[in-house]
């Protein structure tokens, strides 16, 4: 496993790259072989509930899946450090900012019922709107607390926590909560909480993974995102390349596609029987003529895409970070597809 020792996996990416899907797949992969993971959603979209085909998640940690190497189609048994046996568990939590703030007020200020009264008069909305840094402290703080939480036996409750974080454009500011609240509170519980959160986020126990597609804009945003993370002193993780399409033409065909190959293609089509078997050679050749231009145009488009993807892979390789490629699943991602993606991440060493 490439991320041995990492307990908090933060997953982000440009909108539309499938970051929520890959966060869920990573949680499943990490849970295999008897481990227990927590999957956290912070944007209030209930995307995780939709992925797992369940009702909207409440503000509590709820088991959403059991997983084993066999369920992923992989060999293997339990590893040391897991929860035992070959079957692991995935829990999910959709963080509600309002509930998190009330929990925080009760924990640090013992407000109890008074906190609920503040909720009724709109204090919670006021606090998180006027001081958005406090909101991010609450969201990241919950994930960090879960990553370090211990049970009565002194062992960590979760072997790993996966956070489905905001998109790349907002990620560094979201994670760099200490600087966000510095102007609001230079001492006291909020300051101490921010310091504790940053202690986890900047530790070797955290890795920030970015999801991208092999397209120019998502790749550029990924490159810029990792640069921002490094500048902020946040730990970089891996590059998750999603929706990779299989090659249709081999390398030789791609290299030759821009030449004049009409006659060769026509001959191949006739040999394949598309012009009919019982006709004369000239008639068969004429029958495949309408197919040539569309086929050659598609071949050129495919070659252009392959060349573009090659350029994007080169840019991503320049990051010098572990990379993983996940296939494009036809028809969208259902629960079976989610397990397939988890198996790919497991095979490639991401979990």
DSSP string, 190-219: HHHHHHHHHHHHTSTTEEEEEEE-SSHHHH
Domain ranges of the chain: 8-245+328-347, 251-306
Q: Which of 11-20, 30-39, 178-187 shows the lowest per-residue confidence on average (mean pLDDT)?
A: 178-187
pLDDT grade for 20, boundaries at 50, 70 and 90: very high
Q: Which of 153-162, 250-259, 342-351 shows the lowest per-residue confidence on average (mean pLDDT)?
A: 250-259
CATH homologous superfamily of domain 8-245+328-347?
P-loop containing nucleotide triphosphate hydrolases (3.40.50.300)
145-153 long-range contacts, CB within 8 A, separation 24+: 146/38, 146/40, 146/61, 146/93, 147/7, 147/8, 147/200, 147/205, 147/206, 148/7, 148/200
pLDDT tens string 80-92: 344 445 899 999 9
Check whether 257 has a pLDDT greater than 70. no
Q: Where are the alpha helices (DSSP H) in 110-188?
A: 113-120, 123-130, 132-148, 168-175, 177-182
Check whether 207 has a pLDDT greater than 90. yes
Check whether 171 has a pLDDT greater than 90. yes
Give the phi and the psi of residue 344 in degrees, each rounded to 5: -65, -45
What local confidence, expressed as pLDDT, does residue 130 receive?
47
What local confidence, expressed as pLDDT, does residue 256 receive?
62
Check whether 280 has a pLDDT greater than 60. yes
Quote the mean pLDDT of the chain: 84
234/118: higher pLDDT: 234
What local confidence, expressed as pLDDT, does residue 63 receive?
96
């Amino acid at each position: 496993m490439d991320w041995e020792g990492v307990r908090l996996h933060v997953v982000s990416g440009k909108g539309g790259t499938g970051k929520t899907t890959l966060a869920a797949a990573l949680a499943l992969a990490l849970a295999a072989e008897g481990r227990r993971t927590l999957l956290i959603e912070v944007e209030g979209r209930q995307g995780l509930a939709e992925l797992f085909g369940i009702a909207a998640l409440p503000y509590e940690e709820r088991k959403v899946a059991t997983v084993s190497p066999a369920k992923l189609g992989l060999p293997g048994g339990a590893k040391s450090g897991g929860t035992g046996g070959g079957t692991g568990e995935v829990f999910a939590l959709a963080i509600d900012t309002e509930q998190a703030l009330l929990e925080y007020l009760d924990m640090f200020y013992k407000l109890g019922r008074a906190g609920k009264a503040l909720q009724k008069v709109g204090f919670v909305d006021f606090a998180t709107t006027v001081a958005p840094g406090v909101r991010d402290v609450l969201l990241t703080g919950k994930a960090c607390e879960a990553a370090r939480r211990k049970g009565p036996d002194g062992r960590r409750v979760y072997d790993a926590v996966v956070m489905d974080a905001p998109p790349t454009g907002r990620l560094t500011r979201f994670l760099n909560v200490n600087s966000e609240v510095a102007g609001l509170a230079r001492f006291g519980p909020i300051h101490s909480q921010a310091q504790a959160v940053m202690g986890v986020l900047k530790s070797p126990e955290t890795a920030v993974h970015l999801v991208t597609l092999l397209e120019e804009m998502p790749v550029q945003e990924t490159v810029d995102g990792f640069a921002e993370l490094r500048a902020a002193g946040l730990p970089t993780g891996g590059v998750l390349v999603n929706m990779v399409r299989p090659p249709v033409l081999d390398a030789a065909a791609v290299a030759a596609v821009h030449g004049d190959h009409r006659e060769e293609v026509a001959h191949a089509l006739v040999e394949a029987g598309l012009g009919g078997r019982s006709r004369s050679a000239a008639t068969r050749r004429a029958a495949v003529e309408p197919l040539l231009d569309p086929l050659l145009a598609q071949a050129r488009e495919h070659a252009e895409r392959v060349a573009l993807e090659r350029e994007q892979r080169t840019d991503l390789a320049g990051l010098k970070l572990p990379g993983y490629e996940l296939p494009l699943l036809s028809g969208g991602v259902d629960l079976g597809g989610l397990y397939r993606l988890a198996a790919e991440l497991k095979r490639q060493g991401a979990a």
